[in-house]
Amino acid sequence: MLIKLDGDIKSQICSLIREKYTDAFASLVYGPYAGGYADEKTAISILAVADLNKPTLKFVSERIADRRAHLLITDRENFERDVENEHLGGILSENLLVPYEPIAGADYLWRQEVKIKKKVIKDALANLILDFPEMSKSLLIKTEYFIFECMARKAALFPLTSYRFLNVIGGEIGGRNLAMMTRGFKAAVEELIDEGVLQKINGDMLKISDQYVESVRERRRHRFKTLFSTTRTSMLRYALGIFSDVRKTLLDEYRIYRMKRAKNKSVVNSVREIGNPGKYIFLSTASGTVAFTEKISVEEIVRRYMPKADSSSYTIRKLGGILNSVYILKLSDGNLGNIVIKVFKDWYGWKWFPLALWTLGTRDLAVFGKTRLEREYTMNRLLSNHKINVPKIIYVNPEEKVIFQEYIEGTTASKLVKQLYKLKDGEEKRRIHESIREIGREIAKIHSLGVSIGDCKLENIILTSDGKIFFVDLEQAEKGGDQAWDIAEFLYYPGHYALLPPLNVVKEVVREFIYGYIESGGKVENVKRALSPKYIKVFSFSTPPHIIFIISDLCRRLLRDLEEKSLQDFEGS
């Protein structure tokens, strides 16, 4: 039979503390009695904070209302330091994370509760930022994430704690207890919003501020500090001295959980089974928000994104890709468009070695599948928000490392260049020239956002039938990065399309691209750097030396002409 913490028991607790521990100014009941799931065998767990002249941490047993009681007594300084930085390993402050019943000093305990929950949230945010450095600015988070992430992390560090969490949020009283815990987390969130750490999006969603992401990433570079001072080490040892006593409360939690499990086999046996933290993190896509942990079938993708299509009639064909698995999902009705499915594999072994060798000393490529997926998603969203044409992302699952995107129908820039090899003067040739110049303009716009494309070969640039230019395969794109590499790859890489490409066509491509890039505000310095031996050596394996010479020489002459024209315009004004 469950026993509630009634007014009589609370009154006797208050009298006991007043009589025996006169310096105590704040006290609370934690554990099964506070959570509403205590039985006749359960001891009452009490924490008292006192104004004492020396560090104190002791555990005593008492009798209250004919029941066993475990009383944990500490001084104010130790308690507050445990709240601020888990000075005692969280033995004290952890009791503020779960439901508790204040006996005295309720206002003080509330302030400390909000403080510890702010710390928990900031720790969770730091972990997200370090785990998903590229994607963290795009995450949409619900407050519940911090509760379940905290539970999962603490249960992993100390498994016995998991039974407390399972008891607290399981069964009929789970909703009531979760509401009690959420109140403090919401107050902590509001303070973090005021401090510029979080931003509120779409009502109940939260977003990490760009400034906080950058500050955490910067601290990561300087995080090698002394982890434990001598004082903290000694206090932790002191804390461990009473841990066998504190463990009695957790053993009560274990006993209660086992009794529930014996009566009902459907009782879950993992904190994650009750609330996987990942289901409270979302990413925006063209078809709405998607939870981190959401796993979805191809049929469901088709139903959501293309409601007019027959979700049961489609074919999937491998598009290729040595370093990724890329598939195209073709619908029976070709007028409704197609979908690209991209699975990001980790690069390792001999598949990765030739690519690493090719760019050695010039370009650092993202190797891990998770990192490349992050970049693809983050840069796609950034460019789309700035009116750069990129494929719409329909669905993303970071845990499975998979992205569904719209398939872009059109002609790649590589095919345009190859067409130039065969064309004489005429309207078609002038149209292709203008398209190449427009590609230069678009790349300049991307660079003006502080973004480098990373994989700027012509196969990743598509011209659609309505004249739009799309950039695909953004898995190497990043904020910052090497913009000169983008220019070098665009200019030198096509040199291998033909054994002896017409020199006039090579010059035309270079001229149109450079003019388009510079006239849209592209940095001259980027072009100059692309002409250095650092980049030329990378493409010397595939592009004939005389083609590389012609490209680099023409670029220098075009830059010189542009600088002279700019000077003349300045003098003329």
Q: Would you name the residues annotated as active-site residues?
A: 455
> Tokens representing 113?
């509760």
Q: Is the dihedral of CA 397, 401, 402, 405 positive or negative?
A: positive
Q: Please, are residues 265 and 278 in contact by the beta-carbon 8 Å criterion? A: no
Beta-carbon neighbour count of residue 269 at 10 Å?
A: 11
Residues 6+ apart with CB under 8 A from 30: 45, 46, 47, 95, 98, 99, 100, 101, 249
d(CA 133, CA 146): 18
Interatomic CA distance for residues 278 and 241, integer angstroms: 36
Residue type present at position 316: I
Cα separation, 170 vs 89, in Å, equals 26
Return d(Cα 49, Cα 23) in angstroms, integer. 8
Dihedrals phi, psi of 15, to nearest 5 degrees: -65, -40
Distance between CA atoms of 573 and 566, rounded to whole angstroms? 11
> Do residues 239 and 153 make contact, with C-beta atoms less than 8 angstroms apart?
no
Name residue, tokens 């009473």. Answer: 242
Instruction: Could you list the beta-strand ranges (E) of 93-143.
Output: 101-104, 140-141
Could you report how far apart the first and last alpha carbons of the chain are, in Å? 93
Beta strand 469-471 pairing with 411-412: unpaired
In SS3 terms, 430-496 reads as: HHHHHHHHHHHHHHHHHHHCCEECCCCCHHHEEECCCCCEEECCCCCCEECCCHHHHHHHHHHHHHH
Question: What residues does 389 pair with on adjacent strands?
Answer: 470
Tokens of residue 450, six digits: 């502080």
**What span, in angstroms and rounded, lies between the C-alpha atoms of 415 and 159?**
59
Distances (CA, A) of 510 to 123, 252, 398, 550, 565: 50, 76, 39, 10, 19
Contact 520, 441 (CB under 8 A): yes
Helix (H), strand (E) at residue 48? strand 44-50
Distance of CA 23 to the CA centre of its chain: 47
Number of helices (H), then strands (E), in the chain: 20, 20
Of 123, 135, 140, which is closest to residue 370 (Cα–Cα)?
Answer: 135
Provide the edge-to-edge strand list for the sheet that holds 469-471: 411-412, 461-463, 469-471
